[in-house]
Amino acid sequence: MIRILIADDIKENRYLLEMLLKGNGYQVIAAANGAEALDLARQSPPDMIITDILMPVMDGFALCRQWKANPLLKEIPFVIYTATYTEPKDQALAMSLGAARFIVKPTKPEEMIQIVHEILDDARYGRLGTGGRPQVTEREFLEDYSATLLRKLEKKMEQLERTNTSLEKEIAERKRVEAELLYRNTILSTQQETSLDGILVVDGEGKIVSYNNRFIGIWGIPAGVLESKSDERALEFVLGKIVDPRKFIEYVRYLYEHRNETSRDIIDLLDGRILDRYSAPIIGNQGTYYGRIWYFRDVTEQRRLEDQLRHAQKMEAVGALAGGVAHDFNNILSAIMGYATLVQKSLGPDHGMSAYLRRILEATNRGAGLTKSLLAFSRRQEMVMVPVDVNEIIQGFQRMMARLIGADIDFTVSCAGEPLIAESDPGQLEQVLMNLIMNARDAMPHGGAVRITSEKLVLHEDRGEMKRGAYAAITVSDTGCGMDTATQQRIFEPFFTTKEVGKGTGLGLAMSYGIVKKHGGFISVTSEPARGTVFSIYIPLTDKQRPASPADEKDLLPGGTETILLVEDDENVRFVIKDMLQDLGYKVIEAREGEEAIRIFREKREKVHLMLCDLIMPRKGGKETYEEIRNMSPTVKAVFTSGYTADLIEEKGLLTQGQESFLSKPVSMIDLARKVRSALDS
């Protein structure tokens, strides 16, 4: 390691330069004057010396003269670093004595390190010219040295005269400074008292010097204890509030053994609060240790928000995973739905297997609803509100939940005898019911009963936030452990949960609340400890007609005879869409990915009327594929498919022609027939 010797009579200067050099990988030896530096160098020659000029015993000029006269040291780079001798004649004298560089204080740290690097490189590669040998005789040196000292003496005399002249002004200034200090002390006192931190100052022996009111408020120490400056009583009071007092004591002892260290850590209090503790030594200009200042800040709320952020980041990752799972699941559902539709169409409504096929299609529709919920959970899909019968949603939900809730829980559903038509996103409403049922199950670890009911509620006048009108009233009740009033007031807050760590995110009820609000509805809770809980949901009813179901329109399947280029990387999806298109009368040319589709189109462009293409494929996506094909034939039309939703596709900039050219998976035969026919006829 490169060793650098520094010589400076001022301790602070030596310390700063030493820290700078050590921080950049050099080994440092320090001396307080030239004579001491020369002795150290003779014992163990360094790789470089950096020295001040004005020093007792032996100054920098004399040191340089003797350094260059020593055969053992003369080739070692000698650097002058001074704030006193700064005139060109001073520099000329130093260089004539063989100094490698003359540097005037102060110099920026990065510039100083750069100079050191340069000098060491010059020495290493022999670029220091004469090797640093003195260029003056003894007589010339004494003459120049005497002249330099005389100039300094003259300057000192001038300074003394100026000092004497300004002495009276200084006395007057001292009075002004005293007033200024009083003013500043007042400001500091005000700052201390208005600080968000609790501040405690102790002397070198650990005795209390001062404190602010915030410190008293944070720790709740009786004023009499602090006014008596009894540090032992105060410490005893503090230790009584800390979760781990032994650790606190050990840390305090450590800091008083290592007085110059600063520290920062966290303290957990028995009342649940979290304190950020910072401590720093109070050190004078000459390195005198006067004591220590402590800062305490209550960061309980900040930590709670940080935990919430971590929860949100985890849920964002889960959401991204949910979106990917939903995409792949939609491809699987596309194959199941397509083949079931083809078989159903082939067998006819009177065949004995038709009932089973209807069940398969119902299951795939529910699966599609589940993926829709997953995509909505991952924030990749906006709610699509359509008129639906709330009773049908609840009854369909019952079949799924009966298998999930557990055999030790009695699960019953009682729906209104009349249809309850409301504008709703069925998947999102099911998500609300799912959250409530799962919470009810967790509240009954030893079994119990859960009941869902629905009825029509008509308000003839406003009731709080609920305006008059007709509502679908849904209740989810359980016989679980119940909640106290304080818990009920917070259950809809994001990240609030009463479950054990790892068993709840605190987002279920918050999401449910948000979904119900987006439906224009209301949700409330009534509960008592050990007497169960009842959630009540109110969704406004609508006069709009429900859209016709695919079963009502099974005979309205527009087909054609055109040729369609089908581009799909998932084999099962490609096969079933091909079969459905052929069943509709179309001719189909298959391609497994974008590059293959481009090659096929280049050969058969005259035959192709429409490209039906998955948007997200390996190597080349649907958008890029279509753009290359359109360059060959600008009139060619396209319909795009994806397991992701249209809003996410548009957000990524992958949807070229808008949602009218997009077909979301799983692809039903009716949607496929209509979308393809609409694109061909446009």
The answer on pLDDT for 555 being more than 80 is no
Burial class (CB in 10 A: 0-12, 13-18, 19+), 21: buried
Q: CB neighbours (10 Å) of residue 408?
A: 11
Which conformational region is residue 400 in: left (phi greater than 0), alpha (psi within -120 to 50 degrees), or beta? alpha
> What local confidence, expressed as pLDDT, does residue 629 receive?
92
pLDDT tens column, 458-517: 998 988 778 899 999 999 999 998 888 888 878 877 666 666 544 455 566 877 888 888
Give the list of residues 6+ apart from residue 51 with CB closer than 8 angstroms, or none.
6, 7, 8, 34, 37, 60, 63, 64, 78, 79, 80, 81
Top mean-pLDDT range of 166-180, 205-219, 271-285: 271-285
Residues above pLDDT 90, as percent of the chain: 26
**Higher model confidence: residue 90 or residue 129?**
90
Higher pLDDT, residue 32 or 319: 32
Pairing between strand 421-424 and 208-211?
unpaired
Q: How far apart are CA 338 and CA 47, in angstroms?
A: 83
Cα angle, residue 164 at apex, residues 158 and 165 outer, rounded to 5°: 90
Mean pLDDT computed over 138-156: 65
CA 481 to chain CA centroid, Å, is 37
| CB 18, CB 6: distance < 8 Å | yes
Which domains, ranges and CATH numbers included, belong to the chain? Answer: 3-161 (3.40.50.2300), 196-298 (3.30.450.20), 306-359+552-682 (3.40.50.2300), 382-540 (3.30.565.10)
Give the per-residue pLDDT at 251.
80
Neighbours of 507 (CB within 10 A): 19
Measured CA to CA in angstroms, residue 453 lies from 450, 476, 509, 537 at distances of 10, 7, 19, 10
Kindly state the tokens that stand for 588: 């189909």
> Residue by residue, what is the 3-state secondary structure of 417-448?
CCCCEEEECHHHHHHHHHHHHHHHHHCCCCCE
Beta-bridged to residue 451, according to DSSP, are 412, 477
Q: Kindly report, residue by residue over 42-69, the tens digit of the pLDDT.
A: 999 999 999 998 888 898 988 998 999 8
Instruction: Please give the C-alpha separations between residue 133 and each of 61, 71, 98, in angstroms, as whole numbers.
Output: 14, 10, 5
* Banded model confidence at residue 554, pLDDT cuts 50, 70, 90: very low
Q: Give mean pLDDT, residues 227-244.
A: 73
- Which tens digits make up the pLDDT trace of 645-673? 655 566 556 665 544 588 888 888 888 88
φ and ψ at residue 78, rounded to 5 degrees? -115, 120
The strand pair at 78-82 and 101-104 is best described as parallel
Q: In this predicted structure, what is the pLDDT of residue 133?
A: 47
Select the highest-mean-pLDDT range: 172-186, 327-341, 591-605.
Answer: 591-605
DSSP per position, 463-483 = BTTBPSEEEEEEEEEE-S---
**More confidently predicted of 603 and 191:** 603
Let me know if 129 is exposed, middle or buried by CB neighbors in 10 A (0-12, 13-18, 19+).
Answer: exposed
pLDDT, tens digit, for every residue of 622-647? Answer: 889 999 998 999 888 899 988 766 55
Alpha carbons 585 and 558: distance in angstroms, whole number:
9
Helices marked H in 471-521: 485-488, 508-518
DSSP β-ladder status, 289-298 and 198-203: antiparallel
Half-sphere exposure at residue 67, Cβ-oriented, CA atoms within 13 angstroms: 35
Burial 346-378 (b: 16+ CB within 10 A, else e): eeeeeeeeeeebeebbeebbbbbbbbbbbbbbb
Say how far apart CA 89 and CA 91 lie, in whole Å: 5
Structure tokens at 89: 């004649």
Average pLDDT, integer, range 113-137: 76
Q: Is the model's pLDDT at 19 over the cut of 90?
A: yes
pLDDT of residue 177: 76
> Which range has the worst mean pLDDT, 39-53, 211-225, 576-590?
211-225
H or E stretch including 90?
helix 88-96
Angle at 672 between CA 666 and CA 677, to 5 degrees: 160
Mean pLDDT of the residues in the chain: 81
pLDDT tens across 86-116, in order?
Answer: 888 888 888 888 899 999 988 999 999 999 9
Mean pLDDT of 522-530: 90
Element (H, E) at 591: strand 587-591
DSSP track, 282-345: EE-TTS-EEEEEEEEEE-HHHHHHHHHHHHHHHHHHHHHHHHHHHHHHHHHHHHHHHHHHHHHH
Number of H helices, E strands in the chain: 22, 22
Dist CA 368 CA 382 (whole Å): 15
